[in-house]
Amino acid sequence: MLSALLGLIGVLVGALLTQLFTASSEWRSRRLEAMVAIAAASSRVIGAHERLHELFVGEGNNPPLSDERVVRALTERSEAHNDWRTARSRLYIIIPDDQLLIEATDRFEKYRRAGTKWVHEYLKDVQGFHREDVKDIQTEAWVGMREGRIEIGGLCRTRSQRDARWDGHLRQRFTRSSG
C-alpha cells in the first residue's frame, strides 16, 4: 500500500514538473519571439527611413508623390511603422517587467517620431520642401534610431541569455533532485 502511494506521488510530481517545464519553455519562446520581432521591426523602420531619404540625396530635387519610387518608399515606410507598433505593443504585453528594454523602445520611438516630422513636411508641400530645412532633424532621428536599434538588440540578447540560464538552472535542479 505504501509503495503504491509513493508511486502515485512520484507520478503526480513528475506530471507537475512536466507542466512546469512546458509552461516555462512556452513563455521563454513567446518572449524570444517578441524580442526578435521588436529587433527586426526597428531595423525595418530604419531601412524604410533610409530608402525614403535616398530619394532626396540621389536626385537633388523633390520627386513628385506620384513617382513610383516614392510610392514604394512610402508604402514600405507605412508597413514598417505598422510592424514596429505591433511589435512594440506585443513586447509591452509579454515582457512588461524588463524596464531597460521598455525604456530602450521608448527612446527608439522618440527618434522614430522625430524622423516622421520631416516626412510629413515633404508630404504637406512637395514643391516647397527643402531638405536643408530638416537636415538636422533627419540626421538626429537617423542616428538616434541606429543607436536605439543597437541598444534594443543588446538588451534582447541579454534577456534571452538570462531566460536560458534560468530555465537551465531550473531543469538541472529538478533533474538532480529526482535522480
What are the tens digits of pLDDT across the range 122-165?
Answer: 888 888 888 788 888 888 999 999 999 999 999 999 998 888 77
C-alpha cell of 159? 534577456
* Cα–Cα distance for residue pair 6/93, rounded to 1 Å: 41
Does some domain include residue 47?
yes
Name the least confident of 17-21, 83-87, 94-98. Answer: 17-21
Does some domain include residue 14?
no
Does some domain include residue 136?
yes
The string over 101-136, giving b where at least 16 C-beta atoms fall within 10 Å of a residue's C-beta and e elsewhere, is bbebbebbbebbebbeebbebbeeeeeebebeebee
Number of domains in the chain: 1
State the pTM of this model. 0.77
Average per-residue pLDDT for the chain: 84
Give the domain range for residue 161. 28-170
Does some domain include residue 58?
yes
* Cα–Cα distance for residue pair 13/19, rounded to 1 Å: 10
C-alpha cell of 45? 523602420
Residue 108 is part of a domain; what is its CATH number? 1.20.120
